[in-house]
Structure 1
Amino acid sequence: MKPIYERLSLYTNDDDSYIFAPAESTGARSLIVHRHSGDIVLDPPSSAIPSTAKRYKKTIYGIFGMISLTQSEYLIIITGRELRGHLLGHPVYRAVDFDILPLDPGVSASKPSHPVETHLLALVRSHLSSGQFLYSYEFDVTRRLQAQYVARETDEGKPMWEIADDRFFWNKFLQSRLIDISISDLNNDMSAYILPVINGTFDARTVAVNGRKLQLYLISRRSRFKAGTRYFSRGIDHDGHAANFNETEQITTVPSQADPNEAATTLSFVQIRGSVPIFWAEINTLRYKPDLQIMELQDTVDATRRHLQEQVSLYGDQSLVNLVDQKGYEKPLKEAYERYVAKANVPQVNYQYFDFHNECKHMRWDRISVLVDSLADDLLRDGYFHLDSKVQDPMKWQMGVVRTNCMDNLDRTNVAQAAIARWTLDLQLKAVGILTEDGVDQHQDIDLALREMWSEHADLISKAYAGTGALKTDFTRTGKRTRQGAFDDLKKSALRYLKNNHFDGARQDAYDLMTGAWIPRKGPSSALFLITDTRPLVLRAVPYILSYSLFMILAGLTLPRTSDYSLVYYFALWFTLVILSTIFILIHGLDYVAWPRLVPPTEAIHYHGAGFRSGRHGTGFGLDFGKLKSGADAQWVTRGIRRSDTQMEEIELGSKRHVD
C-alpha cells in the first residue's frame, strides 16, 4: 500500500498559491494549489520553495478535502490530532482541529462578505467540530480485517483511497478533486496527499485474563450514504442505502506465549446496524411523539431487496434482528418491515423478532440473554474471523452477520449488540484456550473493559445521530438497570426532544453539505433561502407574543404593586395570551420545527399515497400555512460451513459499491 504523508509544511506564496511540502520526505514532490485558477499540480521533485513564500504557523497533519461554496472553493486541513490508540500496532488518530483556507484571494474564511457564505461556513465548522473523524496513515481503518485479508494481494501497491470501503470513506466527496486528478493525470498522482477518514469510534484496551495480556479493540464505521440526524434521516433511499448504518468490529489479539509482544492470534467479529429498510419517516410536530409516516412507494420492494442483497454480497448470511415494539406507536413499522422482507425474498436472509420492552420490562434487562440464546445457532453458523500466526490460511471465516435495528438503532440496539459481542468473545477465548468453563463475566479486568468500551461506543454513535449520549448505558456499563440510570435517561430524552425539534435542521444541513448530498451553486443569491424566513407574519409573530407575555407575567410578580385588585385583570390578560399562543404553536407545530433547508423532507411530510400515518398533528386549523415547497423555494421547512478462499473473495469484493 502506498504511503501517505504524515506531516506537511504549508507555505503561502502571497495570493498566488498554497504549497504543501512533506515535512519528513526529502525530495518528495510538493502539492501546489493555484489560488486564482484553482489548478492543483505536483511540483517537480526536489523543487525549492519560492523565497517569497511564507510558512504557515501550524503543522499540517493531512488534507481533509476541498469544498466549493457560493463565493469560493476552500481547503480544509487538519491542524490538530490526538492519538486514540494503536490498532494492531498501527497508530489511529482523531482529527481535533481544522483550518479552512479560501482559494479566492478576495474571500476571507473568518469574515465572509456575504451572510449566505457565513452560514455555509458555519455549517462546515459545526460538522468538523462535532464529528469523530478517525484515520491512520499506514492502516486502512475503513475496512474490517477479514475484507483486508481477502484483498491483500489485489491491494498490493495501490493507494489507500483506492482500496478504501466506499461506504465508510467519509471525506470522499471532499477528496474528489484530488482523486479525479490522480486518475486522469498519472504525472500528478496525489495519492500520498489523499487521506481517507472515517466518522465513527475507536477504543483500545489491554486486559489480563488467566495470566495472559490481551488487546481489545472496538471500532465502528458510519456510512456516508443517507447520513444525517435522528428524525431527518430515516429508512432507506432509492439506492437501498439505510440511514444510520454502522459497521462495528470487535477485535481481540492474543499474544504468543514465547513473546508477549507478538500477536499470535487475531480474532475479529463484525455486526451491523441500520434503519428499518423501507420508506418511512417520523414527522416532527413539536409533540413528544412525532407522526409516524410509512410510505408504500412503487419501488419499496426493489429498494429493500437492493439493500439486503448488498449486505449479503458484502457480509454473507444475514440475521435480521428487529427490536421495534409489536404494539402501540411502533407496531405499524414492525408490520411493514416484516411485510417487505417477505416480499423481497432474498436468500440467506433470516428475520427474527424480539419484543425488547416486553421481555425486559420491570428493568429486567438481563433478559437480553433470551435474544442471544435464540441467535446461538446463527452465531455458531456464521462464526468469526480467526487468524493464527503459525498457519498461513485463516482458521475461521465470518460467513454472516447480525443486523440489528430498533426505532433509532441506538439504545435497544446498543444493548443487544453488546450482549452478542460478549457472547461471541466467550466463544472465541474458549476456542483459543484462554478460557475454559468460566466466561468473560467471571474476569473483572476484561468484563469492566468490555462494559466501558461498549458504553462509550454507544454514547458516541448516539451523539452523532440523536444529539445526546445513549440511553440505557447503565445496563451496558454495570450489567444492571438502575433508577439513577432511568433518571439520567429521562434527562437525555428531554434534551433529545429540544435538539431534534429546534437544532437538528442545521446539523442535517451540515451532513448534506459535507457529504455532497447538496452542492452549492456559485453566487450567494442562489442560496438566499438559507437566511430568510418567508413564513406568514402571523406564524412569526406568535412566539414573540408568547415571550413578551411571559416577560410581563414575570414583571408583574417582581415589580412593586399599587393595587392587588388591578393585578387580577393584568394577570388574566397575560396568562390568556400565554395559553392562546402556546395552543397556536402546538397546533401549527410543523411550522415551528427547525427543518433542514438544503434537502428538506418534503415528500415524507406531504405524502398522501398508500401507507400509514399515525396522525396529522401540527398542521393548523385546516389552514395551509405550512404548505411545503420543493427545491430552493423550501425556505423555512423541509422538504457453520467453511467456504473456499475464492467464495470468500466473492462475498468481500464481488459487489463492492464504488459511488463517486
Structure 2
Amino acid sequence: TAGDTWEQVKHTTPEKFYIEACDEGADAVLAIDRVSNEMTLTGKKDVPPSAVTKPICGVMGTIRLVAGMYLVVITRKRNVGSLLGHAVWKAVDFDVISYKKTVLHLSEIQSQENKTFLSMLNNVLSTDGFYFCTDFDLTHTLQRLANTSPDFQEMSLLERADQRFVWNGNLLRELAGQPELHRFALPVVHGFIVMKPCRINGKIFEWILISRRSCFRAGVRYYVRGIDSEGHAANFVETEQIVLYEGAKASFVQVNARLHAFLLESESRRCRWGVGGGGHHASHMDGFQRHFDSQLLIYGKQTILNLVNQKGSEKPLEQAFAKMVSGMNNGMLNYIAFDFHKECSHMRWERLQILVDAVTETQDEYGYFMVTSEGKTVSQQKGVFRSNCMDCLDRTNVIQSLLARRSLQTQLQRIGVLNVGQRIEEQAEFEKIYKNAWADNANACAVQYAGTGALKTDFTRTGKRTRWGLLMDGWNSMIRYYKNNFSDGFRQDSIDLFLGNFAVDETEGPTPLRVQKDWKFLTLPIIMLVAFSMCIVCLLMAGDTLTETLAYVMFWGAASAITATIILFNGQDFVDAPKLVHKEKLD
C-alpha cells in the first residue's frame, strides 16, 4: 500500500552502515563507519554485495549512550494525506541500532545503565505523534513559507526548518555539520496532524489541522513548567488550521503555552505532595520579556486568553500573570482573563460564547492568511490568540476549536464553498469531522504531555457536556495523578535524553541513574499497606471481646496513620523525580 512504501535502504556490514536513497537516478549513499563514527558520502558501487540489506523510511539521527553510538531509523510509516501535493507521513515504528557489535566491553552496572538509556529512547519513540515530509517543510506555517526568499527555498529541509519544532534536532547534529549529507537528514515534528477531504454544497475541499509541539523546554506535566531564562515556554504548541480548495489556500494559526507566572512552581507542587519549590521573580521576568519579544516578532500582535480560575489556588497565578503582562506595557499585547470553570459551571457551556463574542473585533483585526486560486495573496494574519490555562491541555483546546471555527466560517464563504447566510454548524457531515478532529488533537497532545487523553473532549465532539464525559474526566484525572507522581520522572528523563538536555559521556564514569532511593521509599508504603490491611481484617474478624477487637483496630489504624503522615510530609521522596537534569535547570 501507499502507506508502506520505502524511500531508503540500509545496508549493514561489520564495519559500516550504508544508507541508500531510492530516488530514481540517485547514486548517493551515506556511509557511517561503525568504529570511527565518521560519516561520508559515497556511491552505490561502494556498497559490498555481502551487506545485510533492510528497507527503511528515513534516518532520525544518531545518539551516544553508555555502549557508544547508536543509529536511529524509521522502519515503518503511514500516509496521513497530501499537503499541496506533498505526501505527509506518520512515523509508526523505529529501530535503534548499535554501532558496536557487542556490549562485552561494559561492566555489569554499565550494561544495566545502557539498557535503561535504551528504554528511555524507546519510551520517547513509542509516544504517538511523530510526522515528517520528505519534500516539504512541515515546521513552518503556510504564511511563513509564503513570505520567504528564493534563497530560503534553495536550502535543505534541515537548514530551513524552524528549530523550535524539529524534535530530532539533537539526533541530527552529526549530519547537520556536513551540508553534503543534509539530503539524508529528515526533520521530524511531534504533535498531531489530521487531513480530511470534506464536502459542503457538493464542493470538495481539504481541511487540515496541524499541531506542532516545541522541543524547547519540552517535558511532562509536573516537571516542566513556567519559562526559562532563554524565553522558552513550557508545553508550547503552535496549531494551524488549513483549507485547500481548487488552488486557493487559507490558514489560521493559534498558539498555547503554560502559564509563565513565577508562582507556578511553588503553587503547583504544594497542591501535589505538600512539597515546596519555586524560582526567582527576576529571572522569570527576564525570561518572560524574552519570550514575548520573540513571539511578537514571529506572530505579530498577541491576545492572551487566560482561562485559569480566578479564585482558590489558581487565583494568585492569574493575578501574577496579569501583573507581568501589564508590566511589559506593550501595546501589541492584549490580556483577557476568563474564568472558564466559573462561567461554564453547572453545564452552562453555551456561556463560552461570551468569550468568543468578546474577541470578535480582535479576531477580525488579526484576520487569517489566504491565497487565491490565481496565486494572489489577499490576506495576511496579523496576530494570534494565545490560550493559557494550568496545563494547556483541556480548556485551551475547547476555546481554540471555537475560534478556529469562526475563522473557517469566513474563509469558506470567501473561497465560495459556503453560500451567503449558511453556517458551518448547520453542515452536519462536516461538523462531525471538525469536532472529532479537534477532540483527537486534544487527546494526542494530552497523552504526549500528561500521559492520558484530554478532559472535556465530550464538549468538543458533541457541542455539549455529558455525564459520561464527566465520568471519563474523573477516570483520566486519576490516571494522570498516578502517572504524574509515579512514572513521569522516567518520562522526563527520556525526553531530556532524546532532546539532548542530558548527554551521555563515556569518559565521565557513573551516570546519575546510580542514585539510590532512600530505604523508606519502599519500606514505608509496604508498612502502611500491611497496617491498613490488618486494620480491615480486625474489623471483619472480631476478637473474643470488644476490647480486644478495639485494641487491634487502634494499633493497626495508628500504624497506618503514622506511616501515611510520614509519607505525606516526605512526599518528594516517593515521587518518581527526574534524575538526569538537575531540578534548577527545569525551574
- TM-score strictly above 0.5: yes
2:193 counterpart of 1:202? yes
- Cα–Cα, structure 1 residues 238 and 286, in superposed 2: closer, same or farther, change >3 Å? closer
1:7-156 alignment runs, 5 A limit: 7-14=7-14, 16-43=15-42, 45-56=43-54, 59-107=55-103, 114-151=111-148, 153-156=150-153
1:77, CA displacement in angstroms? 0.7
Q: Is the 8 A contact 2:274 2:569 kept in 1?
A: no
1:103-502 alignment runs, 5 A limit: 103-107=99-103, 114-151=111-148, 153-182=150-179, 189-254=180-245, 263-282=246-265, 288=272, 295-390=279-374, 392-435=375-418, 436-502=420-486
Q: One-letter code of the match for 1:23?
A: C
- Cα–Cα, structure 1 residues 108 and 433, in superposed 2: closer, same or farther, change >3 Å? farther
Task: Find the counterpart in structure 1 of residue 574 from structure 2.
Answer: 592
Task: Find the counterpart in structure 2 of residue 656 from structure 1.
Answer: none
2:542 counterpart of 1:546? no
Query: Which of structures 1 and 2 has the larger relative contact order (alpha carbons within 8 angstroms, sep 6+)?
Result: 1
Task: Find the counterpart in structure 2 of residue 186 from structure 1.
Answer: none
- Cα–Cα, structure 1 residues 355 and 555, in superposed 2: closer, same or farther, change >3 Å? closer
Q: Which digits, 9 at most, give the CA deviation of each residue in 1:460-506, with x for residues without a partner?
A: 11111111111111111000011111111111111111111111111
Q: Which digits, 9 at most, give the CA deviation of each residue in 1:292-329, with x for residues without a partner?
A: 86644323332211111111111111111111111111
Q: One-letter code of the match for 2:377?
A: P
- Cα–Cα, structure 1 residues 602 and 542, in superposed 2: closer, same or farther, change >3 Å? farther
Give the 3-state SS of the residue equivalent to 2:166 in structure 1. coil
Q: One-letter code of the match for 2:10?
A: L
Q: Is the 8 A contact 2:273 2:571 kept in 1?
A: no
Counterpart-to-counterpart distance in 1, 2:207 and 2:112: 48
Counterpart-to-counterpart distance in 1, 2:197 and 2:215: 31
Q: One-letter code of the match for 1:40?
A: M
Counterpart-to-counterpart distance in 1, 2:543 and 2:517: 43
Q: One-letter code of the match for 1:39?
A: E
Q: Is the 8 A contact 1:13 1:53 kept in 2?
A: yes
Counterpart-to-counterpart distance in 2, 1:143 and 1:466: 25
1:267, CA displacement in angstroms? 1.1
Q: Which digits, 9 at most, give the CA deviation of each residue in 1:423-458, with x for residues without a partner?
A: 111121222333211211011011111101100000
- Cα–Cα, structure 1 residues 486 and 282, in superposed 2: closer, same or farther, change >3 Å? farther
Q: One-letter code of the match for 1:473?
A: T
Q: Is the 8 A contact 2:273 2:568 kept in 1?
A: no
1:549, CA displacement in angstroms? 3.3
1:278, CA displacement in angstroms? 3.8
Q: One-letter code of the match for 1:194?
A: A
- Cα–Cα, structure 1 residues 359 and 266, in superposed 2: closer, same or farther, change >3 Å? same
Q: Give TM-score, length-normalised by structure 1.
A: 0.83
Contiguous gaps of at least 5 residues in structure 2? none
1:522, CA displacement in angstroms? 1.1
Which of residues 493, 497, 505 is equivalent to 1:513?
497
Q: Which digits, 9 at most, give the CA deviation of each residue in 1:565-604, with x for residues without a partner?
A: 8766555443332222222211211221111111242478
Q: Is the 8 A contact 1:320 1:404 kept in 2?
A: yes
- Cα–Cα, structure 1 residues 554 and 118, in superposed 2: closer, same or farther, change >3 Å? farther
Counterpart-to-counterpart distance in 2, 1:70 and 1:412: 42
Identity %: 34
Q: Is the 8 A contact 2:227 2:284 kept in 1?
A: no
Q: Is the 8 A contact 2:225 2:586 kept in 1?
A: no
Q: One-letter code of the match for 1:460?
A: A
Task: Find the counterpart in structure 2 of residue 583 from structure 1.
Answer: 565
- Cα–Cα, structure 1 residues 108 and 30, in superposed 2: closer, same or farther, change >3 Å? farther
Q: One-letter code of the match for 1:244?
A: N
Q: Is the 8 A contact 1:318 1:349 kept in 2?
A: yes
- Cα–Cα, structure 1 residues 386 and 297, in superposed 2: closer, same or farther, change >3 Å? same
Counterpart-to-counterpart distance in 1, 2:265 and 2:252: 32
Give the 3-state SS of the residue equivalent to 2:75 in structure 1. strand
Q: One-letter code of the match for 1:122?
A: S
1:540, CA displacement in angstroms? 4.3
Q: Is the 8 A contact 1:286 1:501 kept in 2?
A: no
Q: One-letter code of the match for 1:21?
A: E
Counterpart-to-counterpart distance in 2, 1:538 and 1:229: 26
Q: Is the 8 A contact 2:269 2:276 kept in 1?
A: no
Q: Is the 8 A contact 1:286 1:586 kept in 2?
A: no
Q: Which digits, 9 at most, give the CA deviation of each residue in 1:69-89, with x for residues without a partner?
A: 122111111111111222233
Contiguous gaps of at least 5 residues in structure 1? 183-188, 255-262, 606-660
Counterpart-to-counterpart distance in 2, 1:564 and 1:7: 79
Counterpart-to-counterpart distance in 1, 2:522 and 2:48: 56
1:7, CA displacement in angstroms? 1.9
| Range 392-401 or range 111-120, more displaced | 111-120
Q: Is the 8 A contact 1:72 1:107 kept in 2?
A: no
Counterpart-to-counterpart distance in 1, 2:567 and 2:110: 35
Give the 3-state SS of the residue equivalent to 2:510 in structure 1. helix
Counterpart-to-counterpart distance in 2, 1:27 and 1:357: 58
- Cα–Cα, structure 1 residues 578 and 312, in superposed 2: closer, same or farther, change >3 Å? same
Q: One-letter code of the match for 1:364?
A: R
Q: Which digits, 9 at most, give the CA deviation of each residue in 1:378-398, with x for residues without a partner?
A: 1111110111122x4301111
Q: Is the 8 A contact 2:227 2:287 kept in 1?
A: yes
Q: Is the 8 A contact 1:273 1:403 kept in 2?
A: yes
1:561, CA displacement in angstroms? 9.7
Q: Is the 8 A contact 1:281 1:292 kept in 2?
A: no
Q: Is the 8 A contact 2:273 2:572 kept in 1?
A: no
Q: Is the 8 A contact 1:123 1:510 kept in 2?
A: yes
Counterpart-to-counterpart distance in 2, 1:385 and 1:446: 22
Q: Is the 8 A contact 1:305 1:345 kept in 2?
A: no
Q: Which digits, 9 at most, give the CA deviation of each residue in 1:319-350, with x for residues without a partner?
A: 11111111111111111111111222234111
1:542, CA displacement in angstroms? 1.0
1:173, CA displacement in angstroms? 0.9
1:407, CA displacement in angstroms? 0.9
Q: One-letter code of the match for 2:425?
A: D
Q: Give TM-score, length-normalised by structure 2.
A: 0.92
Q: Which digits, 9 at most, give the CA deviation of each residue in 1:404-427, with x for residues without a partner?
A: 111111111111101100111112
- Cα–Cα, structure 1 residues 137 and 539, in superposed 2: closer, same or farther, change >3 Å? closer
1:51, CA displacement in angstroms? 3.1
